[in-house]
Amino acid sequence: MTRPPACPLPTPAERRRLRLAASLTRQEVAERVGVTPETVRAWEAGRTNPSGRRRAAYAHLLKTLEAKVTVAQETSVGDHAVERPGDPLTNEGTDRSGSPSPRRPPAPAPGQAATHDGHASGTTPLPRLARRDEGATGPGARDSTPPPASPSGVGPARRASAVAVGATTPAQAFDALYTGCAPALLRQAYLLTGRRELARESVERSFHGAWERWPEVARDPDPAGRVRMAVHEYALSPWHRFRRRHRDPEPPPADPTDRALLGVLLSLPPAHRRTLVLCDGLGIGTAEAAAETEATTPAAVARLRGARTAVANRLPALADPEALRRGLTALAGAERLRSGSPASMRTISERRARFLTRTAIVCTAALIGATALTAGTAPTRYEPPVASGDAVRGVPPRQAQGSLSEEARKLRAALDDHPLGGPHRLTPQAR
């Protein structure tokens, strides 16, 4: 008798995002599934996974929440979609050279709402990749016209899984992801750190890790969001301040307005700065930003409000969120940040993986050799030291490592020459 296949579940981060997007607490989800809130917390953290009937109930609940969130976001797109031509923070409508993208749909007619194509996570539609939408018919149906993404960046285009078609290889899929994400991620990291070299290093390290774990990244519902999260976390790591080359500030932007805005951003706490870039720079909703920054939705709202207040106090002209978004876009687009080629990213990642593997092998062999040497040279029994006042029998044991002193060497020679024991050895004799 064969067991039925387990119900598929999204990633732990996606589970939490769906719950927050539906404005549900862990207690409410636990009541619907029939478990405790701590169990739901463990499922969302990835420590455990449900099984049996609870897995089926949890999967059905997540699927229902995803459908409701999709309908709400599609309605929001139809009512409030605004086109952002040439946004350097999200790569919407531009290619790597900065020219208008040929994939952008034509301008809408007067009176018709305009929409934009792409992801708020910083990606353009991947070449040679077909997007499978929820409403497609058939297992491999292709959608010739990608659905528009919502301003929050969590529309159907983001959750649609990108599947390789034809002879697409993992290297080609990685190159497409890198080409679409790297320029925008470089500018986002620059806004978070104010350092060009650190921004470039953050993007490169994140894509190195993505290529090392490419099978896992390729199966992720949002690979671009996963790489973006890694870039932001590495860029805001507090350990960078201990590095010598990051102690001195880099030259600020030439424009006074950009220089003032960057100074305000760097004065904000890292969590507030990241939330501001996600919400006002990329257009992500507070629920999604809370899930990405591992915070609650009220905490994300408070961080965003505090960051906007700090910017408005220092720069009153950017008090409006739309004006602030334009300022962040102008600041990110003013710097000419260039990244390496996708082939070099893959080559460096493979070299790094080989180096770490060989280092681990060498360290393991050295540890085994040291253990074997210690086991072979260590004494097999305990030799207690000779107490003061006791008769010396034979050669005294060494009290510590190292060579014997001249006095100890003479004593050992004398004892070797007169091996007999007894009181007569201690009787002085006249010579």
Q: What pLDDT digit, counting tens, does each position of 246-293 carry?
A: 777 788 888 888 889 989 999 999 999 999 999 988 888 888 888 888
- The overall average pLDDT reported for the chain is 75
pLDDT band at 399 (very low <50, low <70, confident <90, very high): low
Give the pLDDT confidence score for residue 396 in this predicted structure.
57
Alpha-carbon distance of 279 to 273, in angstroms, equals 10
Give the pLDDT confidence score for residue 303 in this predicted structure.
93
Print the domain residue range for 257: 84-98+121-131+149-373
pLDDT band at 413 (very low <50, low <70, confident <90, very high): confident
DSSP, residue by residue, 234-297: HHT-GGGGGSGGGSSPPPPPSSHHHHHHHHHHHHS-HHHHHHHIIIIIS---HHHHHHHTT--H
Position 366 in a domain:
yes
* Same-domain check for residues 161 and 63: no
* Same-domain check for residues 297 and 334: yes
* Same-domain check for residues 253 and 156: yes
At a CB cut-off of 8 Å and minimum separation 6, what does 293 contact?
271, 274, 275, 278, 300
Position 301 in a domain:
yes
Alpha-carbon distance of 68 to 22, in angstroms, equals 8
pLDDT: which is higher, 340 or 317: 317
Alpha-carbon distance of 129 to 119, in angstroms, equals 15
For the cut 90, the answer to whether the pLDDT of residue 19 exceeds it is no
Q: Region 88-110: what's the mean pLDDT?
A: 47
Tens-place pLDDT, residues 346-387: 899 899 899 999 999 999 999 999 999 998 888 777 777 767
Give the pLDDT confidence score for residue 423 in this predicted structure.
57
pLDDT: which is higher, 134 or 392: 392
Give the pLDDT confidence score for residue 110 in this predicted structure.
37
The least confident of 63-77, 131-145, 272-286 is 131-145
* Same-domain check for residues 66 and 166: no
pLDDT band at 69 (very low <50, low <70, confident <90, very high): confident
Tens-place pLDDT, residues 223-258: 888 999 999 999 999 888 888 877 777 888 888 888
Last residue of a domain, one of 322, 355, 373: 373
Position 175 in a domain:
yes
Last residue of a domain, one of 326, 354, 373: 373
Give the pLDDT confidence score for residue 150 in this predicted structure.
35
**Whether the Cβ atoms of residue 397 and residue 412 lie closer than 8 Å to each other:** no
Last residue of a domain, one of 373, 405, 425: 373
Position 169 in a domain:
yes
* Same-domain check for residues 181 and 235: yes
3-state secondary structure 12-26: HHHHHHHHHHCCCCH
Position 63 in a domain:
yes
Give the pLDDT confidence score for residue 207 in this predicted structure.
92
Query: Percent of the chain at pLDDT above 70?
Result: 71
Q: How far is CA 167 from CA 171, 172, 173, 174, in A?
A: 11, 9, 11, 14
Tens-place pLDDT, residues 160-209: 334 333 337 888 889 889 988 888 899 999 999 988 889 999 999 999 99
Alpha-carbon distance of 374 to 46, in angstroms, equals 42
Q: How far is CA 378 from CA 1, 381, 383, in A?
A: 57, 9, 12
Position 207 in a domain:
yes
Give the pLDDT confidence score for residue 137 in this predicted structure.
35
* Same-domain check for residues 68 and 198: no
Position 394 in a domain:
no
Q: Indicate the pairing of strand 129-132 with strand 161-164.
A: antiparallel
For the cut 60, the answer to whether the pLDDT of residue 157 exceeds it is no
* Same-domain check for residues 69 and 201: no
